[in-house]
Amino acid sequence: MRVKSLRLYSFIPFITTVLLLAYAYYEEYVEYLDPCPLCMVQRLIFLIIGVIFLLTFVKPPQFVFRKIVAVIISLVSIVGVAVSARHIWIQNLPPDEVPACGPGLFYMLDTLPFGSVMQEILHGSGECAEVSWRFLGLTMPMWTLVCFVGFVVYTIIWSTLKKK
């Protein structure tokens, strides 16, 4: 496979992450849909995936290094799957079992150690249980779960491409 083709295979997921993040910011700043802490973590994971694919677009890695990069992207995507699954689980809890709303993310970052902030974020809060957006019957965390699984599958295929 030619290098240009390898670049295209890196550009597609990069532009996908750009579009996903652009839509998230559209929802936040145009539609005024405030992201919960778990949404912010999912955005960060998309950003990490996008940056890695951008780097492979700029400098396509050789076959062996591409496998290493693919493992990294897959692991990051699997973390995204876990965060999305946790978010979906919180959204489907009965109302009396939903965790209480905690302080805002930026307040926690200013006042708590980073480890405590991550623990609080991954625990979720009442605002994470709110479903205020659906498309084709799926909530936003359900769609992010689909995207993260798609990145895992795509990355596996991407890592097996060889130059001809």
* Residue 102 lies inside a defined structural domain of this protein: yes
The residues that bridge with 138 in the sheet, in sequence order, are: 135
Parent domain of 151: 3-159
Start-to-end C-alpha separation, the chain: 4
pLDDT tens digit sequence for 86-130: 888 888 877 776 666 555 666 666 776 767 666 666 555 556 667
pLDDT (average), residues 33-61: 88
* Residue 164 lies inside a defined structural domain of this protein: no
- Averaged confidence pLDDT in the chain: 82
What is d(CA 50, CA 42) in angstroms, rounded to the nearest whole number?
12
Q: What are phi and psi of 135, to 5 degrees?
A: -140, 125
* Residue 57 lies inside a defined structural domain of this protein: yes
Structural domains of the chain, count: 1
pLDDT for residue 162 is more than 70: no
Q: Mutual orientation of helices 3-29 and 140-159 as an angle, nearest 10°? A: 170
pLDDT tens digit sequence for 18-33: 999 999 999 889 988 8
